[in-house]
Homo-oligomer: A and B are copies of this chain.
Amino acid sequence: MSSQDVQRPVCIIGLGLIGGSLLRDLAATKHPVFGYNHSTSGARIAVKQGFDVTDDLPAILRRAEETNALIVIATPMDAVASVLDAIREHAPSCGFTDVVSVKAEIRQLVIERDMHPRYVGGHPMAGTSKSGWENSQTGLFHRAAWVITYDYAAECDARGERIPLEWENVFADVVRMTQMVHAEAVPVRVANHDAAVARISHLPHVLAETLAVVGDNGGILAQSLAAGSFKDGTRVAGTRPDLVRQMCETNATALVTVLDEALELLKDARDSLATEEPSIAELADAGYRARTRIEARSGARKESVSPVKISSRPVLRLHPGAPNWVAQLRQTESLGGRIEIF
A residues apposed to B, CB below 8 Å: 125-128, 144-145, 147, 186, 188, 192-193, 195-197, 199-201, 203-218, 220-241, 244-245, 248-249, 252, 255-256, 258-263, 265-267, 269-270, 273-274, 278-281, 283-295, 297-299, 313, 333-337
Enumerate the 8 nearest inter-chain pairs by beta-carbon distance, A residue then B residue, closest first: A209-B287, A224-B336, A252-B278, A216-B290, A237-B291, A125-B227, A212-B290, A241-B284
Partner of A210, one of B240, B287, B313: B287
For chain A, what secondary structure do more than half of its interface residues adopt (helix, strand, loop), or is it mixed? helix
Known contacts A221-B188, A227-B145, A238-B292; decide if A270 and B287 are in contact (CB<8 Å). no
Asked whether A241 lies within 8 Å of B285 as measured between CB atoms, the reply is: yes
A sample of 23 cross-chain residue pairs with beta-carbon separation below 8 angstroms, ordered by A number, consists of A126-B227, A145-B227, A200-B230, A203-B215, A207-B211, A210-B266, A212-B290, A213-B286, A217-B261, A220-B334, A220-B336, A223-B298, A224-B298, A224-B337, A226-B299, A229-B236, A237-B287, A238-B288, A244-B280, A248-B278, A249-B273, A249-B278, A259-B269
Asked whether A259 lies within 8 Å of B249 as measured between CB atoms, the reply is: no
Contact partners of A234 in chain B: CB under 8 A: 287, 290-291, 294
Contact partners of A144 in chain B: CB under 8 A: 227
CA distance A273 to B249 in the complex (A): 7
Contact partners of A215 in chain B: CB under 8 A: 199-200, 203, 290, 294
Closest residue of chain B to A206 (Cβ to Cβ) is B269
Contact partners of A249 in chain B: CB under 8 A: 273, 278-280
Closest residue of chain B to A248 (Cβ to Cβ) is B280
